[in-house]
A and B are shown apart, each in its own frame.
Chain A
Amino acid sequence: MTGYVGGDPYESPTFGKALSLRVDGGVNAISINPSGRDVVLASRQGLHVIDLDDPFSPPRWLRHITPWQVADVQWSPHPAKPHWVVSTSNQKAIIWNLARSSSDAIEHVLHKHFRAITDINFNHQHPDILATCSIDTYVHAWDMRSPSRPFYTTREWVAGASQVKWSFKDQNVLASAHGNEVSIWDLRKGSTPLGKLLGHESGVNSIDFNRFKNDEIMTGSNDGTVKFWDYSVSCTEAKRTIRTDFPIWRGRYLPFGEGCCLLPTIGGGDSVYLASLTNSVKKENSDTKLQPIYAFKGHTNRVIDFLWRSRSSSDAQVDDREFQLVTWSKDCDLRLWPVPNTIYDKVNLDRSKRLEETFPNYEYMTYNKEPADSRPEVSNDYRRRKEKFVTSSGIHKNDDVNYITWLSGVRMNHTGSPENIFTERTIQNLGEEVSSIGHKFPKIIFEKISVSTGELIITLNGPWSDDNPEEYVFLRIDVKVPTAYPSKGNSPQFSIEDNGNLKQEQREEISRKLEEIANKYTDSGMYCLEPCLRLLLGETINLDDLNQEIEPILNFEITDQIGLENLSSLPSSDGTSQYLSDTSSETQSDHYKAVFDSSENKELRNPFGRDLTFDSTPVPNECGAVWTPTGQLLCFFMSESNLEKKQQTMLRLTGKTRHQKEHKTGPRAWESKDSSAEKPTRKNSTRPKRYVETISTQLVSSKSINYSSDDQDSDGYSTDSFDNDWSDILRNEVVVRTKLPPLHGNFTKKFTSVHSDSAKTMDSWKKLKNIIFIKDFSHLISDRKELALEYHLTNSNLEQVARNNALVAEKYNLDEISHCWQVLSDMLMTKEISDPYDLMWDNHPMGIRWFVKEAIKFFEKKNNLQMLAMLCCVVASQATKHLKTAEDEDESRPLSRGKVESLVTFRNNDTMRSVRADLHSHYSSSLASSSVEGLNKNRHSPDEVSVKSEDYFSARHQSYNVRTISSSPPLPTRSQQPFQSRLPDLNVRLIQDEVLDAIDDPERHLLDPEDAKKFRFYSYQYAKLLYRWDLPMERVKILKISFSTNSTASDIASQMIDENKDLFGGITTTWEANDERSVHFQNCNYCGLKVTRSIFVCQICEHIMHSTCATEWWQSSQECASGCGCCCPEAFPM
């Protein structure tokens, strides 16, 4: 099965076999390359192209991440456009060109529907034409040569369209399903249907034209019937009806013979049914029950779609096609089913009949591989930019991890019976073996996997160093697997790369062993990669046992045999824990010795090869507390009972060691009673500092517990023999730790679990050990989410804002804050009635300015960020309010001397906007939202108050908007006078106003301009807090307030930079990307060059020209230069 990947369908390793591919990711639509080589799966993540001849190579992924489920995908059936795939994305249809690089594969976007597209169908005769239908009830037919708009449009008002299909025989006829009806259309006859098929009692899910007979069509519906019509005869009475006991999801004619293939929406055993249509239909016999001639059964969830993969010889004179059924199901399995020969007979496939025309000759190639001359990935960038976290490139690029998961989803068998294959779980081929190894040994890295050619490159670390058995040597192994593997005489060839750390002799030795293992296994027809890799990882492989093992691959668990057996023989329920601990450590060290043949003379070393005497890792904390964003304290503790014991033992131990070291006399260590009395002082002096010391104490402590619990004598014993024990234990522990090689995959896991189990019994850790809980201390924290939720910030009446905030604070019993707001509100009230021209009061020593300053000082000391930010913002927006009134009056104000304020208004003419919105449809939303107000928004000059828009983000739209307009000012004024009214109006007006003068005066501000920077910083910090509290609207309001008192141009500029910097991610970035698209407008229909500015757009046909070209063209012609037949000038009075 391996070896071949290439250009002839008759050498395909998968044709005629059963195959199952697991593809996760919510794939909802599938289509097949007409050559039968590739299938394309469409999901919300984009397209996945799978090479059916090399199912082990992972799919090519064309990213297109959308929130909308892909309704349909279709591969172009024409040999002329073998690289085209069309898929839906909500109301748009996307034409992919698979011959381009994945990042740049979108060739066209068809956008004219208003609601989600439900079906797409390529015309069977004409490669450039396709039809789409949507739940907006429209059916559009598109010509890819001018994809900007459909060339044919029709609609059926009754219901959204669910299906659209072209006739196989007549390239002008198509049918669409609307609710219970099916309408047949002819392109040449406008939107009057040729006929309406009435008869289904429920929604029609599928339509299919007959491939061989004109005017014949079959429809499948939720009412459980499939009807066959001849619409030239009758549109109300079906020629034939097949009743089933399930609703029909898809029903199509077989591509061969006379038969049909049915797919249930629900029920029906999740099978695909074939029915024959051969028996001549008599009138009375027209209504029959489904009598399937074959059912493809095996999926565990509903089947979403089916396809036929076919092959035929290129110069066939007779019909020699062979078929394979491809199904995609909701159970995430893509399955290939061989078609039994009996089926061909049952549907009267006449193999001997001479073909009138040969089958189209498709190039048998795959689009699974990225094209070699792929352009640099540019346009793809923006999709990733949203999440800026980037991983180390190596992993991601090769998708190693995915590859293994992918491989494990591939199941293939050698013979043709699908049923048992899909259930059987033994290793069937190299791909499955590799995937099983990949899962078992996560530390082995597959640098290259090519199952089809049998090449693997593996890197791993094995204990092959001569000087130091603890050191791991990096190995890189090239494996060549013969095609006939694992049959006798076809053992894989291993070659270990030259490596400075590995001696030549050793390399040869390993190679020799590998060869021996490989031969031995393959001689008995068994897969041998796993034992070979185990050898490389340093395990011993016993070839003598081979014959006794029935399933060596699947059950090759060394630990099962050595570790657990021994342990399970221990009297674990026995109360004598001393015995237990001793034995377990003994047995452990024993079998480590057995397994690793380790040397006895270990230094004080920890598992990572570090010298423990210099390990300064501190003793780990046993409890802790961390604040949560909401002012709660997250605490974790070790539980009491456990803790005490531990502390005591630790204490005693360290005491002991000290005694021994310092005095060498003390026969007795401290007893727990003594120590508990002395605890507070003593403990600290004796508490170990380094982690290393506790590693050992943990072990020792268990012993001493046992001793003390036994009787007093044992205490003496323990001190006597303490030195011995200590070193014993240490050694054991060290052995344990050094022998925790990270490289053993499963083995490690088993191993550690063994270890911790025994540790449990040793230290009597059975009780409640640790606990995590949250304690609410939010009353201590002055920043409160509740306040943020209820506070007002902007309102026409600031006094009311302050009063409201005072009440809010009062509600939460925050007297200080409430008072502050109260006073502020009173002061603002006096301001309300005062003349805005009277600024004296502001600066009064006891005036509002003074108060604000004092309040801010106070809350700075109180560390109350929320209050500071709120105060600053409320007071800062004070100045704003007066500007507003000024602006309201601006129209009536005469121009006179004084300061000049500029107001820029941008008004979109309605018709113009609609045209433009259509033109670059994907911006329409942004255009709409950044309407009139968007443009004159200048956030940082005093006139920012004229911004009425509540939308913070419109600032971003604004800059974008400006860009668009400047790059494409719509119509030239020179030649197209009549159109001028369609231009957006741009008014620039200078207003002079003494009120503005006053406001611009820094004195007017209630905040000290010196501190503006600080206040901005506070509000920024508070905004961050709000974001964390999940209050984006509040955050936006805060950020809207500007503190700049005397804004200069540079100030604004710097602000803009600041603001446009993405503070919180995910908000702005998409715009940059769209920018790129905006340039790739269209070409002029006259001169063929790219249009970037001075466009003429016909409002009817939407063809565009340079304005100069348009002038030239219309001097001589009345029709559109594109030749679409539109009389553009007629649409506009010229």
Chain B
Amino acid sequence: MPTIANAHNNLIHDAILDYYGKRLATCSSDKTIKIFEVEGENHKLVETLTGHEGPVWRVDWAHPKFGTILASCSYDGKVLIWKEENGRWAQIAVHAVHSASVNSVQWAPHEYGALLLAASSDGKVSVVEFKENGTIAPLVIDAHAIGVNAASWAPSTIQEGPGAQQLRRFVTGGADNLVKIWKYNHDAQSYVLEDTLEGHSDWVRDVAWSPSVLLRSYIASVSQDRTCIIWSQEHDGGPWKKSLLQQEKFPDVLWRASWSLSGNILALSGGDNKITLWKEDLQGKWEPAGEVQE
């Protein structure tokens, strides 16, 4: 993999590889999104997407079964959906229900359909479904009073029986120092609060639901209070157990948490410009597994 220097004229806020690891999307305060094609040691800038009117915070690739689709969110309060067709990128949809900066976007597990979760500083999260008939159906939910900083889907779980409904859940972290779990209620046709997790003493900056589905569910939340909490749940409906990733505080605020593909390793990044890796041992304790510095 190549090193790409100075891809943007300003801070980079997110970079993510697509499903097959062939394309890289980056976004920045310079209001643009760049798409790179990555092949071995080489990389090639294939497109610069402009359209946002503010810094772009996060990008996310949709599952390839929907096409080559990218969602991006920005300070301008909009979520833009981009699509590549025959080598051409075009903006195909705008999701603008939020009245303040949209801080994170994430596509739902592909089994649910083209479902997008967006978290905004206006205190709301929205779940937008891009339906087959061309309509979009946004559900807007009041989540955290001051602002929602991050939202993350739970991995899909298949349940037995014909016509079984998947248990759709997601987690949000907000400026009210709380982490909240939301669950889809079929009768209400909406997402209802399932649990509220208290533990942080400052803004929650990022939440990440582990893709691991083996024994229990894990959520990592990182906060402005320089801690990372791992929340775990043994079985659906059970209580969430809180455990600090490490007892002492991190040297600086934490910005971002990311789980590896099957949930083995947690990567944290923070204000000290350092990335730390964490791994759970057999006793269920979290131990450092590596560190990356620039």
A: residues with CB less than 8 A from B are 387-393, 395-396, 401, 607-608, 610, 615-618, 620-640, 643, 680, 683-684, 687, 689, 691, 740, 742, 749, 752, 756, 760, 765, 768-777, 780-783, 860-866, 868, 1013, 1017-1018, 1020-1021, 1025, 1028, 1030, 1050, 1053-1054, 1057-1058, 1062-1066
12 interchain pairs, CB-CB under 8 A = A607-B76, A610-B77, A615-B100, A618-B103, A627-B260, A627-B265, A629-B20, A636-B26, A638-B11, A770-B6, A771-B294, A781-B264
Chain B residues within 8 Å of A625, by CB: 256, 258, 267-269, 275, 292
How distant is B260 from chain A, measured CB to nearest CB, in Å?
4
How distant is B177 from chain A, measured CB to nearest CB, in Å?
12
CB pair A620 B11 closer than 8 Å: yes
A424 and B268 alpha carbons, distance in the complex (Å):
58
- Does B192 interact with chain A (Cβ within 8 Å)? no
How distant is B92 from chain A, measured CB to nearest CB, in Å?
4
The one of A749, A772, A1053, A1064 that contacts B15, using a Cβ cutoff of 8 Å? A772
If A771-B5, A774-B1, A1028-B19 touch, whether A615 touches B121 (CB-CB below 8 Å) is yes
The residue in chain A whose Cβ has the minimal distance to the Cβ of B249 is A684
A566 and B146 alpha carbons, distance in the complex (Å):
42
The one of B57, B158, B253 that contacts A1020, using a Cβ cutoff of 8 Å? B158
- Does B75 interact with chain A (Cβ within 8 Å)? yes
Chain B residues within 8 Å of A687, by CB: 252-253, 271
The residue in chain B whose Cβ has the minimal distance to the Cβ of A611 is B100
Chain B binding surface SS class:
loop
Chain B residues within 8 Å of A620, by CB: 11, 13, 29, 55, 57
CB pair B258 A627 closer than 8 Å: yes
- Does B175 interact with chain A (Cβ within 8 Å)? yes
CB pair B251 A387 closer than 8 Å: no
CB pair A862 B15 closer than 8 Å: no
The one of B4, B53, B162, B214 that contacts A1018, using a Cβ cutoff of 8 Å? B214
How distant is B259 from chain A, measured CB to nearest CB, in Å?
7
A620 and B27 alpha carbons, distance in the complex (Å):
12
If A777-B290, A863-B214 touch, whether A624 touches B3 (CB-CB below 8 Å) is no
Chain A residues within 8 Å of B133, by CB: 390, 393
CB pair A770 B1 closer than 8 Å: no
The one of A387, A396, A783 that contacts B134, using a Cβ cutoff of 8 Å? A396
The residue in chain B whose Cβ has the minimal distance to the Cβ of A737 is B54
- Does B285 interact with chain A (Cβ within 8 Å)? no
CB pair A616 B147 closer than 8 Å: yes
CB pair A637 B212 closer than 8 Å: no
CB pair A860 B15 closer than 8 Å: no
- Does B139 interact with chain A (Cβ within 8 Å)? no
CB pair B255 A621 closer than 8 Å: yes
How distant is A732 from chain B, measured CB to nearest CB, in Å?
18
CB pair B101 A389 closer than 8 Å: no
- Does B247 interact with chain A (Cβ within 8 Å)? no
Chain B residues within 8 Å of A635, by CB: 269, 275, 292, 294
CB pair B65 A1065 closer than 8 Å: yes
Chain B residues within 8 Å of A781, by CB: 260-262, 264-265
A607 and B262 alpha carbons, distance in the complex (Å):
41
- Does B169 interact with chain A (Cβ within 8 Å)? no
- Does B8 interact with chain A (Cβ within 8 Å)? yes
If A626-B14, A772-B7 touch, whether A637 touches B273 (CB-CB below 8 Å) is yes
A1013 and B158 alpha carbons, distance in the complex (Å):
10
A807 and B157 alpha carbons, distance in the complex (Å):
33
- Does B236 interact with chain A (Cβ within 8 Å)? no
Given A624-B255, A636-B12, A777-B265, 9 more A-B residue pairs with CB atoms under 8 Å apart are A389-B62, A392-B136, A393-B135, A621-B256, A622-B11, A626-B15, A772-B24, A773-B1, A863-B264
Q: How many A-B residue pairs have CB under 8 A?
A: 286
CB pair A1030 B20 closer than 8 Å: yes
The residue in chain B whose Cβ has the minimal distance to the Cβ of A1058 is B158
If A607-B53, A777-B290 touch, whether A390 touches B224 (CB-CB below 8 Å) is no
Chain B residues within 8 Å of A640, by CB: 273, 294
The one of A388, A390, A638, A862 that contacts B273, using a Cβ cutoff of 8 Å? A638
How distant is A395 from chain B, measured CB to nearest CB, in Å?
7
The residue in chain A whose Cβ has the minimal distance to the Cβ of B81 is A391
CB pair A623 B294 closer than 8 Å: yes
The residue in chain B whose Cβ has the minimal distance to the Cβ of A442 is B51
The residue in chain B whose Cβ has the minimal distance to the Cβ of A857 is B215
CB pair A622 B273 closer than 8 Å: yes
A275 and B253 alpha carbons, distance in the complex (Å):
82
The residue in chain B whose Cβ has the minimal distance to the Cβ of A1027 is B19
How distant is B170 from chain A, measured CB to nearest CB, in Å?
18
CB pair B6 A768 closer than 8 Å: yes
The number of chain B residues with a CB under 8 A from chain A is 109
The residue in chain A whose Cβ has the minimal distance to the Cβ of B160 is A1013
How distant is B162 from chain A, measured CB to nearest CB, in Å?
4
Chain B residues within 8 Å of A740, by CB: 53
If A782-B264, A863-B214 touch, whether A616 touches B163 (CB-CB below 8 Å) is no
CB pair A390 B134 closer than 8 Å: yes
- Does B37 interact with chain A (Cβ within 8 Å)? no
If A607-B53, A617-B147, A1054-B161 touch, whether A780 touches B100 (CB-CB below 8 Å) is no
The one of A390, A630, A861 that contacts B131, using a Cβ cutoff of 8 Å? A390
CB pair A607 B292 closer than 8 Å: no
Chain B residues within 8 Å of A387, by CB: 65-67
CB pair A627 B267 closer than 8 Å: yes
CB pair B121 A616 closer than 8 Å: yes
The one of B29, B157, B163 that contacts A1057, using a Cβ cutoff of 8 Å? B163
The one of A391, A626, A772 that contacts B92, using a Cβ cutoff of 8 Å? A391
Q: Mark B22-40, 1 if CB is under 8 A from A, else 0.
A: 0010101111000000000
The one of A691, A864, A1057, A1064 that contacts B65, using a Cβ cutoff of 8 Å? A1064
Q: Mark B148-174, 1 if CB is under 8 A from A, else 0.
A: 010000000110111100000000000
- Does B197 interact with chain A (Cβ within 8 Å)? no
A617 and B148 alpha carbons, distance in the complex (Å):
9
A22 and B244 alpha carbons, distance in the complex (Å):
63
Q: Which of B84-142 contact A (CB under 8 A)?
A: 90, 92-93, 99-101, 103, 110-111, 113-114, 121, 123, 130-136
If A620-B29, A1028-B19, A1054-B162 touch, whether A643 touches B121 (CB-CB below 8 Å) is no
The residue in chain B whose Cβ has the minimal distance to the Cβ of A631 is B260
How distant is A165 from chain B, measured CB to nearest CB, in Å?
35
Q: Mark B47-62, 1 if CB is under 8 A from A, else 0.
A: 0001001110100001
The residue in chain A whose Cβ has the minimal distance to the Cβ of B266 is A627
How distant is A939 from chain B, measured CB to nearest CB, in Å?
16
CB pair A1028 B261 closer than 8 Å: yes
Chain B residues within 8 Å of A1054, by CB: 160-162
The residue in chain A whose Cβ has the minimal distance to the Cβ of B34 is A772
Chain B residues within 8 Å of A630, by CB: 21
A896 and B253 alpha carbons, distance in the complex (Å):
75
A765 and B11 alpha carbons, distance in the complex (Å):
11
CB pair A617 B65 closer than 8 Å: no
CB pair B289 A618 closer than 8 Å: no
- Does B180 interact with chain A (Cβ within 8 Å)? no
- Does B188 interact with chain A (Cβ within 8 Å)? no
A780 and B264 alpha carbons, distance in the complex (Å):
8
Chain A residues within 8 Å of B271, by CB: 622, 683-684, 687
Chain B residues within 8 Å of A1013, by CB: 160
CB pair B92 A395 closer than 8 Å: yes
How distant is A419 from chain B, measured CB to nearest CB, in Å?
32
CB pair A623 B134 closer than 8 Å: no
CB pair B162 A616 closer than 8 Å: no
A864 and B261 alpha carbons, distance in the complex (Å):
11
- Does B191 interact with chain A (Cβ within 8 Å)? no
CB pair B66 A388 closer than 8 Å: yes
Chain B residues within 8 Å of A388, by CB: 65-66, 113-114, 132
The residue in chain A whose Cβ has the minimal distance to the Cβ of B162 is A1054
The one of B81, B130, B134, B213 that contacts A1021, using a Cβ cutoff of 8 Å? B213
If A621-B13, A1020-B158 touch, whether A684 touches B294 (CB-CB below 8 Å) is no
CB pair B30 A689 closer than 8 Å: no
The residue in chain B whose Cβ has the minimal distance to the Cβ of A386 is B65
Chain B residues within 8 Å of A621, by CB: 13, 205, 255-256, 269
